[in-house]
Amino acid sequence: MDPVLERVIVEAAVKIALVFFVVLTTVAYMTWVERRVSAWIQDRRGPNRVGPFGLLQPLADGIKFLFKEEITPPHVYRPVYLLAPILILVPALLTISVVPFGPALRLFGRDVPLRVADVDNGVLIILAFASMGVYGIALAGWSSNNKYSLMGGLRSSAQLISYELAMGLAIVGILMSAGSLRLSDVVARQAEHGWNVLWQLPGFVVFLTAAFAETNRLPFDLPEAETELVAGYHTEYSGMRFSMFYMAEYANMVTASCLAATLYLGGYHVPGLQRLGLPQNAAAIVQLLAFGIKVAFFLFVYVWVRWTIPRFRYDQLMNLGWKVLLPVALVHIVWVAFIVLMGWA
Amino acid sequence: MSASAVIFYVLASIAVLSAAMVIWSRYPVHSALYLVTTFLSVAGIYVLFEAEFVAAVQVLVYAGGIMVLFLFVILLVNLKDTLGPRVRLHATFSSLIGTAVVGLILYVYSQGRVPGSPGAAPMLREGGNLQAIGTSLYREYLLPFEIASVLLLVAMIGTIILARQKT
């Protein structure tokens, strides 16, 4: 094979494996963080028996899931029932491929950019994968052949469609200021002109709210509202397949946090880092860490909000999406357009 | 055969096969899923031709947006009620129109009037997909674009009115 092509393929494969490993580890440890933080908020102790501070709990959970008996109820529609957890997990993991984690790292005499793919339409691809996530949920609900599951699936699809719109419109503001759909351009612009959150606060709030709804987290977790729908669309799932829904939820949280950090908090940009005059690799690692801290902040906010705010009612959820977030996002676009036109930003 | 040709034929055959399965499967939900497969493999073909923007929009709008609404209707509506003599009439009309369209495409193709795709790729590469599409859409084809959006608006208003009458 052509040596250049071979190098490109090897580099991409290593990056994909690394990102996969990091994301899945984060997903596993988010379950631990969630339980510890919720315990802290509720003045309990949380899991603290497996390993120091309960740090090995995710491992124990994973082993338990693997050894659990998988029950396939007789009334389900098998092909779609088996496919649905895969359909929900794959888009959740794919989205992360366009996120820039940091600038280029100098390795073996070459610049290695810290992202899997730097594509022209990064933002569009994120929205496209986000919209594919609905299938897993809707089909899981339908194929389970259970009224609670179906209700959960339908609610979730309606919710995703409604909030996708507000999220897309909030992102339009970012695109107008950056003049590009490429995520690395968005980061570069923020490094030059200041973080987007400083002057696009309404867009940021709309984006964050929509991201909560997109990931089906409290206060928008109506698809699995246990007081009315048992467990919603994954009522009939057990064992590893059930845990795939869980992993998808946390993977979506990680992706949404990465996006929020990239679009509004300047991505891997650290203010004033250039003045220190660090060598390229050291600066890159600092920026990578800064990105990690920003993502961790949003992940913490996710958990924090979940254990603080009670669940919305379904009509309140729809009203909020269509009558509050959508108009705010539209006005926000006009505002950003005005600022960009006047050349103030 | 080059690698891109192999990928093209794989994607194209998946697209055609699942398009055929859309018609042949007995359950509407299966048809919908096969249609999504067709959309996705067509999006893959767009990527192969370096039209990434169109590919992303294809997934976002067709596979993601429209098909979800479609699936909604299929999940909620009892389709057995609608079967009847009217369906047969519809089928006759649709098959006539479909045959006519296929005939037209074959005719144009046999005349050699299909513009070659290789000419388009360098232009797309220059300023990126997005700029090429944006410039041609908002400069050269502004009027058709606006007409299409008005058409969509009319359809939206019509849907709202139809939905309101029922309740």
Tens digits of per-residue pLDDT, A33-64?
888 888 888 888 878 787 788 788 888 888 88
User: Rounded to whole angstroms, how far apart are CA atoms A92 and A120?
Assistant: 20
Chain B interface includes A117 (CB < 8 A): no
Using a pLDDT cut of 90, give the percent of chain A over it.
0
Q: How many residues does chain B have?
A: 167
Q: What is the mean pLDDT of chain A?
A: 81
Residue to substitute from A81, A118, A121, interface B, most B β-carbons within 10 A: A121
Say if the Cβ atoms of A135 and B129 lie within 8 Å.
no
A219 upstream amide cis, omega within 30 of 0: yes
Does residue A11 lie in a domain region? no
Q: What is the DSSP letter of B84?
A: S
Q: Is the pLDDT of residue B150 over 90?
A: yes
CA distance B135 to chain A (A): 14
Higher pLDDT, A300 or A143: A300
Nearest CA in chain B to A180: B130
B118: nearest Cα among B54, B50, B52:
B50
Q: Can you spell out the DSSP letters for A221-259? A: -GGG-HHHHTTGGGTT--HHHHHHHHHHHHHHHHHHHHH
CATH number at residue B3: 1.20.120.1200
Question: Are the beta carbons of A224 and A340 closer than 8 angstroms?
Answer: no
Whether residue B56 sits in one domain with residue B27: yes
- Letter string b/e over residues A148-187, b meaning 16 or more CB atoms within 10 A of that residue's CB: bbbbbbbbbbbbbbbbbbbbbbbbbbbbbbbebbbbbbbb
Residue A112: strand pairing partners: A105
Backbone angles phi, psi at B20, to 5 degrees: -65, -40
Whether residue B22 sits in one domain with residue B90: no
Q: What is the DSSP letter of A310?
A: P
Average pLDDT in the A14-25 region?
86
Name the domain count of chain A: 1
Does residue A47 lie in a domain region? no
User: Rounded to whole angstroms, how far apart are CA atoms A64 and B60?
Assistant: 37
Tens digits of per-residue pLDDT, A58-94?
888 888 878 887 777 787 777 778 888 888 888 888 8
Whether residue B77 sits in one domain with residue B1: yes
Chain B residues contacting A, CB < 8 Å? 29, 33, 36, 52-53, 56-57, 59-60, 63-65, 68-69, 71-72, 75-76, 128-130
CA distance A284 to chain B (A): 27
User: Rounded to whole angstroms, how far apart are CA atoms B7 and B18?
Assistant: 17
Q: What is the DSSP letter of A150?
A: H
Q: Can you spell out the DSSP letters for B117-137? A: STTHHHHHHHHHHHHHHHHII
Whether residue B146 sits in one domain with residue B94: no
Say if the Cβ atoms of A121 and B52 lie within 8 Å.
yes
Specify the pLDDT at position B13. 92
Q: What is the mean pLDDT of chain B?
A: 79
Does residue A55 lie in a domain region? no
Residues in chain B with CB shorter than 8 Å from the CB of A129 are 59
Q: Is the pLDDT of residue A106 over 80?
A: no
Nearest CA in chain A to B64: A131
* Least confident span in A104-108, A146-150, A287-291: A104-108
ipTM: 0.74
Whether residue B149 sits in one domain with residue B73: no
Residues in chain A with CB shorter than 8 Å from the CB of B75 are 138, 142, 150, 153-154
Q: Is the pLDDT of residue B63 over 70?
A: yes
Q: Can you spell out the DSSP letters for A311-328? A: PPPHHHHHHIIIIIIHHH
Q: Is the pLDDT of residue B140 over 70?
A: yes
Extract the tokens encoding A182.
């490429």
The torsion defined by the Cα of B36, A212, A230 and A34, in degrees rounded to 10, comes to: 120
- SS3 at position A112: strand
Extract the tokens encoding A153.
């699936």
Location of structure tokens 């799932």: A237
Give the structural domain span for B137.
126-167
User: Rounded to whole angstroms, how far apart are CA atoms A285 and A138?
Assistant: 41
Give the structural domain span for A166.
71-342
Domain boundary among B53, B83, B113: B83
Whether residue B27 sits in one domain with residue B7: yes
Does residue A338 lie in a domain region? yes
Name the domain count of chain B: 3
Specify the pLDDT at position B147. 93
Q: What is the DSSP letter of A70?
A: P
**How much of chain A is in helix, strand and coil states, percent to nearest 5?**
75, 5, 25
Strand (E) or helix (H) holding A113: strand A110-114
Whether residue B119 sits in one domain with residue B154: no
Average pLDDT in the A176-204 region?
81
Average pLDDT in the A150-156 region?
80
Specify the pLDDT at position B167. 56
Does residue A127 lie in a domain region? yes
User: Rounded to whole angstroms, how far apart are CA atoms A216 and A205?
Assistant: 17
Residue to substitute from A76, A126, A135, interface B, most B β-carbons within 10 A: A135
Tens digits of per-residue pLDDT, A299-334?
888 888 888 888 877 788 888 888 888 899 899 899
Specify the pLDDT at position B125. 53
Residue A102: strand pairing partners: A114
A217: nearest Cα among A303, A288, A155:
A303
Residue B119 — very low, low, confident or very high, per pLDDT cuts 50/70/90?
very low
Extract the tokens encoding A141.
């609900």
Q: In whole angstroms, what separates CA A160 from the centre of its chain?
A: 14
Specify the pLDDT at position A345. 63
Whether residue B162 sits in one domain with residue B150: yes
Residue A225 — very low, low, confident or very high, per pLDDT cuts 50/70/90?
low
CB within 8 Å of A228: residues ≥ 6 apart: none
Specify the pLDDT at position B14. 92
Domain boundary among B55, B83, B111: B83
Location of structure tokens 């002057």: A199
Tens digits of per-residue pLDDT, B95-106?
899 999 999 988
Nearest CA in chain B to A150: B75
Residues in chain A with CB shorter than 8 Å from the CB of B52 are 119-121
Chain B interface includes A161 (CB < 8 A): yes
With a CB-CB cutoff of 8 Å, which residues 46-105 of chain A face chain B? Answer: 80
Specify the pLDDT at position B55. 83
Higher pLDDT, B15 or A219: B15
Say if the Cβ atoms of A124 and B53 lie within 8 Å.
yes
Residue A114: strand pairing partners: A102
Question: Taking the CA of residue A56 as centre, how many other CA atoms within 13 Å lie in the half-sphere pointing to its CB?
Answer: 7
* Residues A274, A115, B45, B1, CA torsion sign: positive
Residue B157 — very low, low, confident or very high, per pLDDT cuts 50/70/90?
very high
Q: Please give the model's pTM, rounded to 2 decimal places.
A: 0.80
Whether residue B130 sits in one domain with residue B108: no
Specify the pLDDT at position B79. 57
CA distance B111 to chain A (A): 36
Q: How far is CA B102 from CA B37, B48, B95, B107, B110, in A?
A: 22, 24, 10, 9, 12
Tens digits of per-residue pLDDT, A240-251?
777 888 888 888
Say if the Cβ atoms of A134 and B63 lie within 8 Å.
no
Q: Is the pLDDT of residue B24 over 90?
A: no
Whether residue B96 sits in one domain with residue B146: no
Higher pLDDT, A240 or B107: B107
CA distance A315 to chain B (A): 17
Specify the pLDDT at position B114. 61
- Total H helices, total E strands in chain B: 7, 0
